[in-house]
Structure 1
Amino acid sequence: MKELKLKYGCNPNQKPSRIFINGGELPIKIINGSAGYINLLDAFNSWQLVKELKETTGLAAAASFKHVSPAGAAVAVPLNEVLKKTYFVDDAELSDIATAYVRARGADRMSSYGDFVALSETCDEQTAKFLSGEVSDGIIAPSYSKGALDILKNKRRGNYLIIQIDVNYIPKEIETKEVYGITFEQKRNDVKISEDMLTNLPTKNKILPDNAKRDLIISLITLKYTQSNSVCYVKDGQAIGIGAGQQSRIHCTRLAGNKADRWFLRQNSRVINLPFKKGIKRSDRDNAIDLYISDDYMDILSDGSWENLFIKKPTPLTMEEKKEWLKNLKDVSLGSDAFFPFGDNIERAKKSGVSYIAQTGGSIRDDNVIETCDKYNIVMAFTKMRLFHH
């Protein structure tokens, strides 16, 4: 197949729409459903991310994509008991690829609502069972077990988009795109991210453990496929906060840090044990949890709407309790797709437990950024590699 016609482009008024390839065949097979323009943008970007994560770390990888940026990305690091409860899989034995996706989906469940899934491995029945209960638009993977296909083909009233990708496909070195009738051309960003990028350590603290190296690599690979400006917090093999598409880097750092904080607050025992009524939909549960840990939670108590969700009225977490809990978030790794221009980014990152940083370097205020890292004994690497993605 050299061409695939689509219903429309980014918006319904943008017709006709298609994808095509000059020379050779398209590297995908549509197993089920019909592909949309944005679906395929998510599919191809997310596939590149998980493919590179697997090649670099050697671990099964998964991503949850929304609007051409990851809501979550992860590799198959085993879940502890708290995370199993937080991700609602405490009664399941998870395969590696299921573990990776559960982590990716669990990073930011609000943003992952209606996501596009990418898997580096065969989609097995266990992963499909988990997906069957989630609101998701489609999936891309190198292959599927029969049991997984039987489950996935029943999603979205039989219209769930299932794409199989040719793992041996190698795109051309030069890529093009058209904007306003003008064609842009550039070399593909095929830079290989590895531990070699983490050797230039200008900070006083130069101790970079292996798990921190792994997490920094995950953050940088994730940023490579995230709309810029972007910042990514990672802990224990998974992105826990991604700030994408912001004009100011400090806004990226704040946005991603706030997401990391919310990820950690969800692990508080009060949140894990919220007294939900039976039969509450996952999306309603996720919305309620997000509201419970927000500063607006008192609103839901005052208007009585809690009765639709909970068996009894939950006691809210106070600001002081949240601050105390967040003090336990430690050893987080942070990547940035370009240099930090001011030390305020480091100040904000520290509030979310960041101990390790990888950033491009090269700002005229590098000295201030290094000084701020030294203030908190943070290890920072200058990668000398910008990772803008547009």
Structure 2
Amino acid sequence: MSHPIALKRALISVSDKTGLIELARKLASRGVELLSTGGSARAMREAGLMVTDVADVTGFPEMMDGRVKTLHPAVHGGLLALRDNQEHLAAMQAHGIGPIDLLVVNLYPFEDTVAKGAGYAECVENIDIGGPAMIRAAAKNHAFVTVIVDVQDYDALLAELDANDDRTTLAFRRRQAQIAYARTAAYDAAVSNWMADAIGEDTPRRRAFAGTLAQGLRYGENPHQRAAFYVTGEARPGVATASQWQGKELSYNNINDTDAAFELVAEFDPADGPACAIIKHANPCGVARAGTAIDAYRRAFDCDRTSAFGGIVALNHTLDGATAEEIVKIFTEVVIAPDADEDARRIFAAKKNLRLLTTGGLPDPRADGTVFRQVAGGFLAQGRDSGHVTRDALRIVTKRQPSDSELADMLFAWTVAKHVKSNAIVYAKDLATVGIGAGQMSRVDSTRIGRRKSEDMAQALGLPLPLTIGAVVASDAFFPFADGIEALAEAGAKAVIQPGGSMRDDEVIAAADRLDLAMAFTGQRHFRH
């Protein structure tokens, strides 16, 4: 059946009552009979609307604290009956089942309940049963029944009725059925993933995840690729939860790089002072800590000024006017920070293409979570890399012991290396990166690239020596051979932090001793592919 269907009878049962009364009034004005349950029925009656209780239709009262109210043939028969099937029509007549032409349901707020940190029992009580069952029934029978599950579709429903003489078209019903099944799928995914976490099931037999469209994107990584941005509802501060103060819409690459920048800078506790990270193509081109935000930015910028052009800037402190003045001296795509003062927003307002995002907080770098990556025919799931090391956890394996300042720089460089694509080499000095080698097939090549970038910046800054002289170095994974250590020594490095664990650790340690380097093993690696 493809012709428009008139709406004569609607069942409305919503948890989120936004827009409920306006919708119900407009349906009633079109002569639609209203059925409802519990709080929805009460709200409509208080607004002066005529409403029939579902309990009067089923002949059973709502019971068991509302757990049982719509799971009844009088409801599901009215949703599922095929109006062009004589046997279905006869069954409806024999059992006194009236057709339901419109179902408006939104579900118990399970995701919100989990997000607020509710206990196990409260989360279970917020698992909706009747709602998903009705939604699935109505969506299956979309040839005859219209189903609405999102408040934002109320206006679309009313516009559809206005355009089609109080009827809905098959195309509209199909679109709403797809939305409905996506909603129940996302709901069930949220429940199953929460329960897996709650019972400690790290590798559930089936894993589902879902998101809600936040933004259609002009294209993906390249103009010929389709793309969209979906949010999961996770409360973790970041690009998905940020407020955008100005600038055009974020692109696919902007979103990816901004997330990388903010996750990196969040590694540095604001209580220890401002930190800044500048990201290009998901890799840091400069990271620094300092006594002020402007100094942190300047020192991060001085690691690789060329790559910083058109990059993403992330701060772990409130963006102030002085720092904003410094940032706008070159073209920057996005700036993200927990907050921005009025001076900073005023300065950025003159740069219409610069996007300013504020998040109200920082993501917890130690928090657990699951991240996914698609492969042909499946996807990989793993825990978020929340690993970190402290000074006490380091094992010094060389004859020369690192100084206190070298230890501080080693831990700083190690933290940055966690966010650099493998193979990763990070040179750092005085809590600022001075050379980064990223994403190479050979660790020695990453070592040499970091050194070369340092030499280029020294020349640009008018300094006589490469910035790597006297620096410390972090490597995201072990050195398989001594040649990497020798390359670092040639660059002028004085200390190394790395995981250890190579079959040739003894050879590597001996090379470090011969070259008078201090070296610490972390016992932990940070591959990032």
Q: TM-score, normalised by structure 2?
A: 0.56
- Give the structure 2 partner of residue 251 of structure 1: 445
SS in 2 for 1:354: coil
1:62 equivalenced with 2:201 (yes/no): no
The letter for the 2-side match of 1:385 is Q
Deviations 1:250-273 (A, max 9, x none): 00111111122233334446xxxx
Provide the aligned C-alpha RMSD in A: 2.2
Q: 1:169 to 1:54 in 2, by over 3 A?
A: closer
Per-residue deviation at 1:379? 0.3
Pick the aligned partner of 2:479 from 333, 336, 340. Answer: 340
Alignment partners' CA distance in 2, 1:19 and 1:31 = 20
- Give the structure 2 partner of residue 114 of structure 1: 310
Q: Are 1:260 and 1:352, in contact at CA under 8 Å, matched by a contact in 2?
A: no
Q: 1:144 to 1:256 in 2, by over 3 A?
A: same
Pick the aligned partner of 1:205 from 396, 400, 404. Answer: 400
The letter for the 1-side match of 2:315 is L
Q: Are 1:27 and 1:166, in contact at CA under 8 Å, matched by a contact in 2?
A: no
Q: Are 2:243 and 2:358, in contact at CA under 8 Å, matched by a contact in 1?
A: yes
1:38 equivalenced with 2:253 (yes/no): yes
Pick the aligned partner of 1:105 from 297, 301, 304. Answer: 301
Q: 1:23 to 1:243 in 2, by over 3 A?
A: closer
Q: 1:136 to 1:164 in 2, by over 3 A?
A: same
Per-residue deviation at 1:205? 0.9
Alignment partners' CA distance in 1, 2:244 and 2:467 = 45
1:21 equivalenced with 2:242 (yes/no): no
Alignment partners' CA distance in 1, 2:221 and 2:527 = 22
Alignment partners' CA distance in 1, 2:442 and 2:466 = 26
Q: Are 1:61 and 1:75, in contact at CA under 8 Å, matched by a contact in 2?
A: yes
- Give the structure 2 partner of residue 374 of structure 1: 513
SS in 1 for 2:301: helix
Alignment partners' CA distance in 2, 1:187 and 1:361 = 22
- Give the structure 1 partner of residue 465 of structure 2: 326
SS in 1 for 2:441: coil
- Give the structure 1 partner of residue 387 of structure 2: 191
SS in 1 for 2:494: strand
Per-residue deviation at 1:54? 2.9
Q: 1:328 to 1:107 in 2, by over 3 A?
A: closer
Per-residue deviation at 1:38? 1.2
Q: TM-score, normalised by structure 1?
A: 0.75
The letter for the 2-side match of 1:159 is N
Alignment partners' CA distance in 2, 1:107 and 1:114 = 15
Alignment partners' CA distance in 2, 1:379 and 1:226 = 23
Per-residue deviation at 1:214? 1.5
State how 1:45-56 maps to structure 2 within 5 Å.
45-54=260-269
Q: Percent identity?
A: 32
Number of residue pairs aligned between Structure 1 and Structure 2: 312
The letter for the 2-side match of 1:149 is R
SS in 1 for 2:502: coil
Deviations 1:179-227 (A, max 9, x none): 34522100111112322343x1111112x22211121111111111111
Alignment partners' CA distance in 2, 1:17 and 1:99 = 36
Per-residue deviation at 1:76? 0.5
Deviations 1:260-314 (A, max 9, x none): 2233334446xxxxxxxxxxxxxxxxxxxxxxxxxxxxxxxxxxxxxxxxxxxxx
Per-residue deviation at 1:344? 1.3
The letter for the 1-side match of 2:499 is T
Alignment partners' CA distance in 2, 1:32 and 1:49 = 23
SS in 1 for 2:224: coil
1:152 equivalenced with 2:345 (yes/no): no
1:216 equivalenced with 2:397 (yes/no): no
The letter for the 2-side match of 1:58 is D
State how 1:258-273 maps to structure 2 within 5 Å.
258-268=452-462
The letter for the 2-side match of 1:245 is G
Alignment partners' CA distance in 2, 1:107 and 1:131 = 15
Deviations 1:87-123 (A, max 9, x none): xxxxxxxxx0010011111111111111100011111
Alignment partners' CA distance in 2, 1:74 and 1:194 = 19
Alignment partners' CA distance in 2, 1:169 and 1:259 = 30
Consecutive unaligned residues in structure 2, runs of 5 or more = 1-210
Q: 1:166 to 1:177 in 2, by over 3 A?
A: farther
Alignment partners' CA distance in 1, 2:479 and 2:223 = 39
Per-residue deviation at 1:3? 3.9
Q: Are 1:174 and 1:185, in contact at CA under 8 Å, matched by a contact in 2?
A: yes
Q: Are 1:264 and 1:329, in contact at CA under 8 Å, matched by a contact in 2?
A: no
The letter for the 2-side match of 1:4 is A
- Give the structure 2 partner of residue 319 of structure 1: none
Which structure would you say has the larger RCO, counting Cα contacts within 8 Å and 6 or more residues apart? 1
**Which stretch has the larger CA shift, 164-173 or 145-154?**
164-173
SS in 1 for 2:406: helix
SS in 1 for 2:454: helix
SS in 2 for 1:258: helix
- Give the structure 1 partner of residue 369 of structure 2: 173
